[in-house]
Amino acid sequence: MEYSLQADHLTKLFNGQLPAVNDITLRVRPGEFLTLLGPSGGGKTTTLRLLAGFETPTKGRIQIGDHIVADDSHFMPPEKRKIGMVFQDYALFPHVDVAGNIAFGLRGSSKDKARQVKRLLTLVGLTQFAERMPYELSGGQQQRVALARALAPNPDILLLDEPFSNLDTGLRAQVRSDVRHILLETGTTAIFVTHDQQEALSLSDEIAIIFDGKLAQVATPHALYNRPVNMQVAKFVGDANFLPAEAHGMTADSRLGEVKLFHPKSGRVQLMIRPEALAVGFDEEGSRATVLWREFYGHYQRLGLALADGTTELIARTGVDRYFQRGDAVSVSLALPALAYDSESQHVLS
Ligand SMILES: Nc1ncnc2c1ncn2[C@@H]1O[C@H](COP(=O)(O)OP(=O)(O)OP(=O)(O)O)[C@@H](O)[C@H]1O
Ligand SMILES: [Mg+2]
């Protein structure tokens, strides 16, 4: 089985509105962790609900493993799809203890159920909590129970809709990496929804960017960050500087002087420069700039720079081997080749 899940031209129209999901095609390999990332209202939850069977597609086709679960002539209800779901609000049963919550979707003898509950309690590190009630647990513990409950029936695919958004920052990072390890350990195929770019970049095997119901790009975190297909995607995943330039093949003339390009281009372009690609120092080489502001993050610093032309501002990110202050006169140059977008279409390949 090449893919755990295939969705083709998935489209959902709610009455009289613009499509919430518009012609989305996805492929998910066994054991893969795919993230749907995009702004609020973009159609991420609707996509998950279509995959789970809580909505019927207006158009398109969904195949899970070898089974077509939705198309023009088929519709398999959610309980038959072998899909587990974890939601933002955990939705634990409040009057049932932890073990009871995990056992909820299980069939078989009570002995088999008990064995499976024990296995999952161990997996999520909650063996001591089997008899606690949900209200006696912290947010992170509740989230792990919700994960155990979703994994208990051994689903083919796990869908997670912003499962960490109710947790505070520190706990969120912890639960997030716990969940990732548990999924790796169990080899579970997962589709995860978030609008947090850092979360998506750090956890995913692949990321699907969704804007206004449409797929803008599907790529590995590395490729997405370094080669976004258009300026909108570039801005959405991390800080991006844009600088107008005149391209001549593999180089371009810009306010940072002559810079190297990733792809050959000619004519007017917009360079996309990530903050860490800028080398900032007190050298003779490079363009002159002034530090406008500085934010210190312990292991790196973020700098706002004004080039000497007085109109260009850039964001740079440097290590902490050297300290910069507001008002410092610095040199700035490009340490890596720049990605060039066509000025008109704002795409890499025009
Ligand atoms: N049941 C529904 N009836 C009508 N419109 C809906 C329904 N569910 C979602 N929508 C609309 O579909 C669009 C996509 O919504 P969806 O919940 O999928 O977005 P999302 O990407 O999950 O956003 P968020 O990040 O805020 O959770 C929105 O415009 C929303 O208002
Ligand atoms: Mg949503």
**pLDDT digits 0-9 by tens, 243-252:** 999 999 999 9
Asked if residue 130 has pLDDT above 90, the reply is: yes
Residue 158 gets the label, from left (phi > 0), alpha (psi -120 to 50) or beta, of beta
Asked if residue 54 has pLDDT above 90, the reply is: yes
Which pTM was predicted? 0.90
Whether the CB of 325 sits within 6 Å of ligand 1: no
Whether the CB of 73 sits within 6 Å of ligand 1: no
User: Cβ(156)–Cβ(4) under 8 Å?
Assistant: yes
Is the dihedral angle over the CA atoms 236, 242, 244, 250 positive or is it negative?
negative
pLDDT digits (tens, 9 = 90+) for 78-110: 989 999 998 877 688 999 999 999 998 888 899
Asked if residue 160 has pLDDT above 50, the reply is: yes
pLDDT of residue 178: 82
Asked if residue 133 has pLDDT above 70, the reply is: yes
Whether the CB of 194 sits within 6 Å of ligand 1: no
Q: Name the residue ranges covered by the structural domains of the chain.
A: 5-234, 240-342
Residue 1 confidence class, pLDDT cut points 50, 70, 90: confident
pLDDT of residue 87: 81
State which ligand 1 atom lies nearest to the alpha carbon of 36: 21
Candidate from 14-18, 224-228, 297-301 with smallest mean pLDDT: 14-18
Ligand 1, atom 12, residue with closest C-alpha: 20
Asked if residue 171 has pLDDT above 80, the reply is: no
pLDDT digits (tens, 9 = 90+) for 17-35: 889 999 999 999 999 999 9
Average pLDDT over residues 257-286: 95
User: Cβ(50)–Cβ(13) under 8 Å?
Assistant: no
pLDDT of residue 346: 67
Ligand 1, atom 7, residue with closest C-alpha: 14
Whether the CB of 15 sits within 6 Å of ligand 1: no
Residue 15 burial class via C-beta count within 10 angstroms: exposed 0-12, middle 13-18, buried 19 and up: exposed
If one residue of 35, 40, 45, 214 were mutated to test the ligand 1 pocket, choosing by the most ligand atoms within 8 A of its CB, it would be: 45
pLDDT of residue 350: 41
User: Cβ(330)–Cβ(285) under 8 Å?
Assistant: no
Read off φ and ψ for residue 84, nearest 5 degrees: -105, 150
Asked if residue 330 has pLDDT above 50, the reply is: yes
Which among 91, 99, 131 has a CA at the least distance from the CA of 115?
99
Ligand closest to 10 (CA) is: 1
Q: What angle do CA 105, 108, 114 make, to 5 degrees?
A: 75
Candidate from 54-68, 128-142, 292-306 with smallest mean pLDDT: 128-142
Which among 324, 330, 233, 342 has a CA at the least distance from the CA of 283?
330
Question: What fold characterizes domain 5-234?
Answer: Rossmann fold (3.40.50)
The residue that leads in pLDDT, 168 or 307, is 307
Question: What fold characterizes domain 240-342?
Answer: OB fold (Dihydrolipoamide Acetyltransferase, E2P) (2.40.50)
Residue 143 confidence class, pLDDT cut points 50, 70, 90: confident
Ligand 1 center to residue 106 CA distance, Å? 31
Q: Give the C-alpha distances (Å, rounded to integers) separating 24 from 32, 56, 145, 148.
A: 18, 14, 32, 30
The residue that leads in pLDDT, 141 or 303, is 303
Ligand 1 center to residue 163 CA distance, Å? 17
If one residue of 40, 46, 58 were mutated to test the ligand 1 pocket, choosing by the most ligand atoms within 8 A of its CB, it would be: 46
Q: Tell me whether domains 5-234 and 240-342 share a fold.
A: no
Residue-averaged pLDDT of the chain:
92
Residues 6+ apart with CB under 8 A from 262: 227, 337, 338, 339, 340
Asked if residue 289 has pLDDT above 50, the reply is: yes
Ligand 1 center to residue 346 CA distance, Å? 27
First to last CA, the chain: 36
Spatial distance between the Cα atoms of 350 and 343, rounded to a whole number of angstroms: 9
User: Cβ(141)–Cβ(174) under 8 Å?
Assistant: no
Q: Which helix (H) or strand (E) holds 206?
A: strand 206-211
Residue 205 confidence class, pLDDT cut points 50, 70, 90: very high
